[in-house]
Amino acid sequence: MVKMDALDYVDTATEKYDRILLDAPCSSDGRINLSDERTYKWFSEAKSIAKAQLQLKMLEAASQLLSPTGRIVYSTCSLTRGENEKVINAFLRKHPEFKTLPSPIEGDFILSEYPEISVSRWHPTQLQEGFFMAVLIKN
């Protein structure tokens, strides 16, 4: 098991991995509690756009480290489409050798803006932050 920044590791890696968990840094809007104004500081549109660009770079790096039959689980604690579905969709457009699998756990809802991809999303509750997940494999 290796735990490190994929952007740092991709240039020095000598092996491929069957499973990669990419828990990408995000804008943290899944932590916002509408009844607590102090939590609003965690999100800004500029931060979300910057994080989406970083997330796509990290997903690219992770894909280079994946074995031919491997899987990437991409997750964020964000609920924005820009950091989630749009990142996955942009990656899949560039990498037709990948596809998404249905989530092994059912989310609160599955969005249909991109019907060709399978993703899950969970709303925040008193017990958990909101988060997003997609499972990618090579075709």
What Å distances lie between residue 121 and 45, 66, 130, CA to CA? 20, 24, 7
Reported residue count of the chain is 139
28: tokens are 């943290």
Whether residue 77 lies in the annotated active site: yes
Calpha distance 46→135 (Å, rounded): 27
State the catalytic residue, choosing from 24, 59, 66, 77: 77
Tell which residue, 99, 133, 96, has the closest CA to residue 116. Answer: 99
Q: How many CA atoms, within 13 angstroms, populate the side-chain half-sphere of residue 75?
A: 17
Active site residues: 77
